[in-house]
Structure 1
Amino acid sequence: MIRQSSLTHGNRLHAASTQDGTAWRVSARKEVDYEVMVQPRLLDPANPALAHALTSGTAPARRLIVLDAAVHALYGEQLAAYLTGWDVEFRLCVIDAHESVKVMETVFEVVEAMDAFGVPRRHAPVLAMGGGVLTDIVGLAASLYRRSTPYLRVPTTLIGMIDAGIGAKTGVNFREHKNRLGSYHPSSLTLIDPGFLATLDARHLRNGLAEILKIALVKDAELFALLEGHGARLVEERMQPGEGRAGGAALTVLSRAVEGMLEELQPNLWEHQLRRLVDFGHSFSPTVEMAALPELLHGEAVSIDMALSSVLAHHRGLLTAAELDRVLDVMHLLRLPVLHPVCTPDLMRVALADTVKHRDGWQHLPLPHGIGDAVFVNDLTQQEVEAALVTLAERDQAQQRRARCGAVDLGV
């Protein structure tokens, strides 16, 4: 016999009589609705977007701002003037956020700031302003504080704008494992201002372009062509829309990357399906990144993974020789690494084994199928990985020789 009892909001609790007693089944759904918005000149006093996001119609507004130390040095005074001009009372929590401190101790530092400030539970979102490491840390702190506190994200790096700052995942590293601890807790709003990229150094811009290349290789051939044609100038001109020879492509590249990422995330936000295109470049890279820390940035480790995966695809006949050349040439054009000394056969074995655990016993390894498409494989062998490492090393050495010869020819 099954009976129903009423709960609030129209939900029903199902109870069933059993031989030994009664069993209840609880069924609930959590609605997710958040926005990602490109908003140039975010700190311009005449632009109300950030103020409206922070105040949400409440007056007076009182907000905790968690800020990356580098962003504070560059934009702290401008941010303070903006908030003061819009009558927002605020307190800053400045974090020197980088991969080496992406650990629970830093999350606790943010939680302590939230507790000291007296952040209420529902209607005073914390603002996280910085790169992907910072937004990941604040997101995890917000998910833990009172079991769920809202927050806003203003990513200031390219990788934050097109990857870390627009999804649902938060996370920190644990021991030698990348993002081993985390939660699903999207911010209610992400505001993207490309103007912040004007002060981003070239290496960190390339770091973000690696994640854009990821989307291009498995999903968007036109985006790949834009990187192929404008990649170097996008770095030189810091992806500033409307400026320089690549200015016309900058906003298109940014928009296509964000939209491509969100298209993949939306139907599978909680990762119930573990075959994910956006995992391209993320099968070997978590282990490589942590083994090389602090030498490699996240996107640089992803680039190495993508290079290896592209060689694997070529060996399987999924990429032609010409297509593989194009892939590696774009990586060289963007000055992204394709190999690192830590990439030994033993480490790759460990990396793939850990990925199989992460994907619930399956490899679910995305490999490019031509440029702009991909397939998933579950039968990759250690012998294939070692052969691909050899090929990649040979190609990398040949490219370095060409670069040295070019420098000699130019009299460098």
Structure 2
Amino acid sequence: MSIPTVNPTPTSITAAFDLPKPPGVSWRVRSQQVVDYEVSMTRGLLSTSNSTFAHACGADGKRRTRCLVVVDDAVEQLYGERLRAYFSAWRIAHNWRVVPGDENTKQLDTALGLVDDMSSMGILRRAEKIVAIGGGVVLDVVGMTASLYRRGIPYIRVPTTLIGQVDAGIGVKTGINHGQHKNRLGTYCAPETALIDPEFLRTVDRRHINNGLAEIIKMALIKDSQLFDLLEATVASIDPETLADCGPAGGEILSRSIAGMLDELEPNLWEKVLERAVDYGHTFSPSLELRADPPLLHGEAVAVDMAICVALARNRGLLSEQDADRALTLMNAAGLPLTHPVFTAELLERALEDAVKHRDGYQRMPLTAGIGSAVFVNDITADELRAALSFVAHRDHRAADSDVLESAR
């Protein structure tokens, strides 16, 4: 049976496809992206008898698998040999890339270098993975690169620092710095899994332990008063060994911090809601972190920011005099700075202006409303910032004088 053909004239084609008058025709596309990743705490991750790491890499010890392994230079020095032995035991062929673990690494050139590594390796888009092992810097850069390469390939995080294990290594944010702005370029890209082994903390120096304690204190101040009490009782004994041993106190500090952070992140992974309690201590600190010379670690800058926030809450009557003193005393006891010469009133004002842009036109600034809870404010003034700066400076000088007297005794 023949099917007749119609050869419409140009006039009829034009008529058939004329756009309708306003408002025209529109299509709405709706889709949901399931986010499903696991954060696991395990001991002895690098023991060849522990299959956790191998299985995360897609290995079963029988067939050969491949990964691109990106480690920071400290990890290479401390654990390079053990890592290679583990991969060999589980038949994981690996391309190995070492990057510096300092903030200067968080640049586009580093990400592009990792892209070249993936291209030269010929990494498969779904079956093979990138493994990021180290502190927050390497985790951020690898995560961003993984999200961009072929629009996303799977990666695994193995945080080896305290701040990585309780903060940078367990969320979905990635980022690199640009110009004078921290994490100005970034994406949301969940790892397949984050593997946390407290044993890594045994080789972390005391300054970097204190660095991670800042983020733990943050969670205590805005969410968990019991964690704050535990920190007050144990801060003098917290060190690399006690955290690595993961005894009752150390284990609870780590688990409460991680659970609290994930509880805050999970309902708002893509930051559709810009009022985020976990932004406490992160309003002014990005500006300080990139300007301080000598450089400050992330947690040190966060601590200086938190001290200002404590003073703001105290001056507004949101935090009692006693609790403000407890908060500042805990930060000081954790070896964290409360002030910094770069932190001027002018810098605070500029940093707040930049935060307003980041938070879509509002300050949305979290302040403690009593230890263990937070409220958001949008009306912080320049005069309040100056008063807070003065309060913390006076408190810091008083603490320094007390330390001098105690040493003299």
- TM bin, normalised by shorter chain, reads over 0.9
Deviations 1:128-147 (A, max 9, x none): 00001100000011011111
* Equivalent residue in structure 2 for 1:149, among 150, 153, 157: 153
Cα distance in 1 between the residues matched to 2:41 and 2:113: 30
Residue 21 of structure 1: how far off its partner (Å): 5.1
Q: Which residue of 2 aligns with 1:364?
A: 364
Pairs within 5 Å for 1:1-400 = 19=22, 22-55=25-58, 59-235=63-239, 237-242=241-246, 247-292=247-292, 294-400=294-400
Deviations 1:226-264 (A, max 9, x none): 11111121126351235xxxx320110000000000000
8 Å contact 1:100–1:294 — kept in the other structure? no
TM-score by length of structure 1 reads: 0.92
- Mean CA deviation greater in 41-50 or 58-67: 58-67
Cα distance in 2 between the residues matched to 1:352 and 1:180: 15
Q: State, as a whole percentage, how many aligned pairs show the same letter.
A: 48
User: Residue 286 of structure 2 aligns to which amino acid in structure 1?
Assistant: P
**How many residues are treated as equivalent by the alignment?**
390
8 Å contact 2:69–2:131 — kept in the other structure? yes
User: Residue 402 of structure 2 aligns to which amino acid in structure 1?
Assistant: R
Deviations 1:213-238 (A, max 9, x none): 00000100010111111112112635
Q: Which has the larger share of strand? A: 1
User: Residue 360 of structure 2 aligns to which amino acid in structure 1?
Assistant: D
Deviations 1:91-116 (A, max 9, x none): 11111121122111111121111111
SS at match of 2:66: strand
List gaps (5 residues or longer) in structure 1.
1-15
Distance change in 2, residues 1:236/1:111 (3 Å): closer
SS at match of 2:187: strand
8 Å contact 1:205–1:238 — kept in the other structure? no
User: Residue 378 of structure 2 aligns to which amino acid in structure 1?
Assistant: N
SS at match of 2:25: strand
Residue 156 of structure 1: how far off its partner (Å): 0.3
- Mean CA deviation greater in 17-26 or 331-340: 17-26
User: Residue 26 of structure 1 aligns to which amino acid in structure 2?
Assistant: V
Runs of 4+ in 1 over 4 A off after TM superposition: 16-21
8 Å contact 2:131–2:157 — kept in the other structure? yes
Residue 17 of structure 1: how far off its partner (Å): 7.2
Cα distance in 1 between the residues matched to 2:328 and 2:184: 30
Q: Which residue of 2 aligns with 1:11?
A: none
8 Å contact 1:60–1:87 — kept in the other structure? yes
8 Å contact 1:154–1:192 — kept in the other structure? yes
Deviations 1:144-177 (A, max 9, x none): 1111111000000011111101001000110100
TM-score by length of structure 2 reads: 0.93
SS at match of 1:33: coil
List gaps (5 residues or longer) in structure 2.
1-18
User: Residue 96 of structure 2 aligns to which amino acid in structure 1?
Assistant: L
- Mean CA deviation greater in 119-128 or 272-281: 119-128
SS at match of 1:404: helix
Deviations 1:33-81 (A, max 9, x none): 0000001100001100001111256932011100111101000000000
- Mean CA deviation greater in 47-56 or 126-135: 47-56
User: Residue 170 of structure 1 aligns to which amino acid in structure 2?
Assistant: T
User: Residue 373 of structure 2 aligns to which amino acid in structure 1?
Assistant: D
Distance change in 2, residues 1:399/1:21 (3 Å): closer
User: Residue 38 of structure 2 aligns to which amino acid in structure 1?
Assistant: E
Alpha carbon RMSD of aligned pairs, Å? 1.5
Cα distance in 2 between the residues matched to 1:124 and 1:158: 28
User: Residue 336 of structure 2 aligns to which amino acid in structure 1?
Assistant: L
